[in-house]
Amino acid sequence: MNSWFVLVDFENVQPKNIGLLHGGAFKIKVFVGANQAKVPLEIARALQAFGPHAEYIQIEGSGRNALDFHIAYYLGRLAAENPDASFCIVSKDSGFDPLIRHVTAQKVFCKRFESISDIHLSDTPGSAAPSDRVDAIIANLARRKAARPRTLKTLRSTIKAFVGDTLADEQLDGLIDKLAQRGIVSIVDGKVHYEQE
């Protein structure tokens, strides 16, 4: 499966929901300003779950767009080292858009998102392989614990929101069938039961 690098502009966005990406093939780099001495515990804990696939990069020096230039440098370097990778820049700064258009013209897949929750598995070229997609859905459901969907209708909408609204009904049915085949869920009279209750 191709790597997906998530480059977070922490001066611009302090995402509280990084955990939503856990269970996918995401590698996260959080770019922190020279004067940002503290990271909230909630974010630090969420990143810790990614182990070696998450790191902080504190820039040196300050100045207008200093952090943006660091992100641009890492984007170029990582794209050269990982030609099949996809890149997500998490920032509300539209100043990244000309860079993204340029690298896209060079056949590097890159998109900007204003929040972590906007990133879906279907946002990358070719999306995820079916087994990888199922693994990511299983991990997402496990994180929900008591808030897991209890009806087939809710399960369908939850999966669709997670992997992207472009999912066709037959693809959605196939993913739910795979969850059942793996013994993760059983569905009786429209009610969803989980292997580990």
Q: What is the dihedral sign for C-alpha 117, 140, 149, 169?
A: positive
Do 136 and 42 lie in a common domain?
A: no
pLDDT band of residue 93 (cuts 50, 70, 90) is very high
Residues 42 and 84 occupy one common structural domain: yes
Amino acid in the structure at residue 21: L
Helix (H) or strand (E) holding 99: helix 97-105
- Stretch 19-45: mean pLDDT: 84
Q: At which of 119, 150, 184 does a domain end? A: 119
What is the Cα–Cα distance from 31 to 38, expressed in whole angstroms?
13
Query: Could you tell me if 114 and 134 lie in one domain?
Result: no
- Please report, rounded to a whole number, the percentage of residues in the chain having pLDDT higher than 70: 88
β-strand partners of 18: none
Q: Quick one: pLDDT at residue 120? A: 62
C-alpha angle with apex 92: 81 to 89, nearest 5 degrees?
A: 15
| Residue 1, pLDDT score | 46
Structure token pair of residue 86: 């996809």
Indicate whether 103 and 147 sit together in one domain: no
User: Same domain, yes or no, for 74 and 169?
Assistant: no
Kindly state whether residues 45 and 106 are assigned to the same domain.
yes
138 and 184 co-located in one domain: yes
Which DSSP state fits 165?
A: T
Q: Are residues 11 and 100 in the same domain?
A: yes
Task: Give the pLDDT band (50/70/90) at residue 178.
Answer: confident
Report pTM: 0.63
68-85 per-residue burial string, b: 16 or more CB within 10 A, e: under 16: bebbbebbeebbeebeeb
Same domain, 85 and 140: no
The answer to whether residue 28 sits within a structural domain is yes
Cα distance between residue 19 and residue 26, in whole Å:
11
Give domain status of residue 31, yes or no.
Answer: yes
Residues 17 and 100 in one domain: yes
Residue 67 domain flag: yes
- Domain boundaries, position 76: 4-119
Say whether both 46 and 79 belong to one domain.
yes
What does pLDDT average to over the chain? 83
185-194 pLDDT, tens digit each? 999 999 999 9
The answer to whether residues 114 and 145 belong to one domain is no
CATH number for the domain spanning 67: value is: 3.40.50
Chain segment 141-159, per-residue pLDDT in tens: 887 778 889 999 999 988 8
Give residue 7's pLDDT.
96
**Residue of higher predicted confidence among 145 and 57:** 57
CA–CA dist 197, 103 (Å, integer): 46
